[in-house]
């Protein structure tokens, strides 16, 4: 039960003609901008901008603070530091996220710092690589000690601790795009300050984390981590064109899995377009979230999801260790879910490996008569051995004709009959037409798994590239999650 302080959505005036990256007219107004799901909300009345000197060099810095009306100075209060994307501002990060709404409900304080120059964040030289490997921080300092933006972020946290009754064990960082790179930098170099970190649309470049020999560059303390990855993120659905980002997703997850002690298989959960993998760690946990069909940016509910699945259940103890309690929403996988990857002999059933008699295959349904000897592919379908269908759905399986005929007796009393070469499936003595015919491969009778799940069992079956996910609710499998499913099965089958 999440209900605490009330969240109120305020009406705004849509500015549909706007094409500016961050319209200055939004500031202190009720204007809202919506673009590809990146939604702003009316400028909060409680958001206060400061322009003060808090650094030893005497130069002024800008940041915004959001303190909820329920703030009680007598109580220790969590603090979230949220870093804006490149060419944006602290107030822009506020109106494009739901952190202020989460603050109203949870009674937490949010601070949104501005990059010191050019509306950007300065990266240490080893951390200054963008998605394509290009240098993105001009005159990048060699060490974190020389990085003014990093020192400003630490000074701002100390400033907030003096100004408010901040719970030192519950300080968190989050950022979008270049702000995600900033949060990654702070997490790696100053992990002991924080109780959790998250980035949105900014998986840390593998060149930052590893050298040319694959060795980790920067040693970190364990830190609860959540990666929020839009499926497209400025690229497109062509896997080859997304190579760098796939590499970076893998690299960042492997980096934090190393320090957090995540050795067991993750639990998979897909709700609508949100794809989750929950990694349990001996030191602390890690969460991967992919948003199907989303381009670069952060969803309006990104803050909500980061808080509910991660930050709400983590704190750093006085001895430096991480304590984890149940977050607002438990990090548990789908109660029912089947992940299949083409060419793999194992599947993930409820996030656990289950072996098939033979690997999953893709079968093409062809149309060729009357095409002057040619052929047209009318459909491609994931097919699995009939024995696997029996195994995962607890059915009794009977085969004859050397395994080329089969009958399944389902738990609900229905009987299904299949035969090699027939597109027919006899259900309780009534014939139905399947997506494609039953085929013989690897000495096994294969049947179309998607048709069985959708037509006969009323389940959702979502495919992406070489992977298929079946569950009992609406779910859309994302490209990066499909990739990670394949990686997991590769590890299982290599043992």
| Beta strand 376-385 pairing with 396-400 | unpaired
Task: Give the fold, CATH level 3, of 13-324.
Answer: Rossmann fold (3.40.50)
Owner of token pair 């921080």? 137
pLDDT of 171 higher than 80: yes
Give the Cα-Cα-Cα angle 352, 259, 197 (nearest 5 degrees): 90
Q: What is the pLDDT of residues 350-400, one digit of tens each?
A: 999 999 999 999 998 877 666 676 777 788 999 999 999 999 999 999 999
Q: What is the pLDDT of residues 36-93, one digit of tens each?
A: 667 889 999 999 999 999 999 999 999 999 999 999 999 999 999 999 998 899 999 9
Mean pLDDT of the chain: 92
Residues 356, 348 contacting (CB under 8 angstroms): no
For 404, what's the count of Cα atoms within 13 Å in the CB-facing half-sphere? 8
Q: Residues of CATH 3.30.457.10 domain(s) within the chain?
A: 337-494
28/42 Cα distance (integer angstroms): 8
- Inter-CA distances, 126 with 183, 185, 206, 314, Å: 15, 10, 11, 29
Q: What is the pLDDT of residues 186-208, one digit of tens each?
A: 999 999 999 999 999 999 888 88
User: Across the strands, what pairs with 355?
Assistant: 346
Residues 81, 149 contacting (CB under 8 angstroms): no
328-332 CB contacts, 8 Å cutoff, 24+ apart: 328/2, 329/2, 331/267, 331/278, 331/285, 331/287, 332/267, 332/269, 332/278
CATH class of 337-494: alpha beta
Q: Residues of CATH 3.40.50.1820 domain(s) within the chain?
A: 13-324
170/155 Cα distance (integer angstroms): 17
Greater confidence (341 vs 132) lies with: 341
Task: Place 3 in a pLDDT band, splitting at 50, 70 and 90.
Answer: low
DSSP 267-296: EEEEEBTEEEEEE--SS--EEEEEETT--S
Please state the φ and ψ torsions of residue 146, each to the nearest 5 degrees. Answer: -90, -5
Collapsed DSSP state (helix, strand, coil) of residue 197: strand
Q: Please state the pTM of the whole predicted model.
A: 0.94
């Amino acid at each position: 039960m999440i209900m605490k302080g009330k969240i109120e959505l305020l009406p705004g005036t849509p500015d549909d003609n706007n094409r500016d990256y961050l319209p200055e007219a939004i500031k202190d107004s009720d204007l809202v901008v919506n673009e590809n799901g990146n939604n702003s909300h009316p400028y909060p009345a409680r958001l206060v901008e400061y322009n003060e000197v808090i650094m030893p060099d005497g130069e002024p810095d800008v940041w915004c603070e959001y303190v909820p009306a329920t703030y009680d100075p007598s109580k220790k209060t969590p603090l979230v530091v949220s870093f804006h994307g490149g060419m944006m501002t602290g107030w822009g990060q506020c109106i494009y996220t739901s952190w202020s709404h989460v603050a109203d409900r949870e009674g937490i304080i949010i601070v949104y710092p501005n990059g010191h120059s050019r509306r950007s964040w300065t990266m240490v030289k080893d951390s200054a690589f963008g998605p394509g490997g290009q240098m993105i921080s001009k005159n990048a300092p060699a060490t974190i000690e020389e990085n003014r933006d990093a020192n400003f972020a630490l000074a701002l946290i100390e400033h907030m601790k003096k100004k408010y009754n901040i719970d030192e064990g519950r300080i968190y960082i989050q950022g979008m795009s270049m702000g995600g790179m900033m949060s990654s930098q702070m997490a790696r170099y100053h992990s002991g300050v924080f109780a959790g970190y998250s980035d949105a649309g900014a998986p840390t470049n593998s060149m930052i984390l590893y050298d040319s020999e694959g060795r980790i560059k920067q040693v970190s303390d364990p830190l609860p981590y959540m990666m929020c990855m839009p499926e497209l993120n400025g690229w497109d659905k062509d896997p080859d064109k997304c190579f760098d980002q796939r590499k970076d997703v893998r690299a960042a997850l492997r980096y934090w899995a190393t320090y957090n002690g995540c050795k067991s298989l993750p639990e998979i959960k897909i709700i609508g377009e949100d794809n989750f993998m929950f990694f349990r760690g001996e030191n602390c946990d890690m969460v991967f979230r992919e948003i199907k069909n989303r381009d670069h940016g952060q969803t309006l509910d990104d803050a909500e999801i980061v808080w509910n699945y991660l930050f709400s259940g983590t704190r750093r103890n006085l001895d430096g260790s991480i304590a984890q309690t149940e977050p607002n929403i438990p990090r548990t996988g789908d109660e029912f879910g089947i992940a299949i990857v083409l060419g793999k002999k194992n599947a993930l059933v409820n996030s656990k490996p289950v072996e098939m008699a033979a690997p999953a295959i893709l079968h093409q349904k062809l149309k060729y008569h009357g095409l002057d000897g040619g052929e047209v592919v009318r459909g491609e379908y994931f097919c699995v051995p009939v024995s696997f269908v029996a195994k995962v759905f607890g059915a009794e399986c009977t085969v004859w004709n050397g395994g080329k005929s089969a009958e399944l007796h389902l738990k609900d009393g229905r009987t299904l009959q299949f035969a090699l070469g027939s597109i027919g499936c006899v259900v309780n003595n009534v014939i139905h037409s399947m997506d494609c015919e039953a085929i013989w491969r690897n000495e096994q009778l294969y049947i179309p798994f998607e048709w069985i799940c959708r037509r006969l069992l009323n389940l959702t079956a979502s495919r992406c590239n070489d992977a298929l996910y079946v569950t009992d609710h609406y779910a859309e499998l994302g490209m990066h999650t499909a990739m990670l499913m394949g990686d997991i099965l590769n590890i299982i089958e290599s043992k």
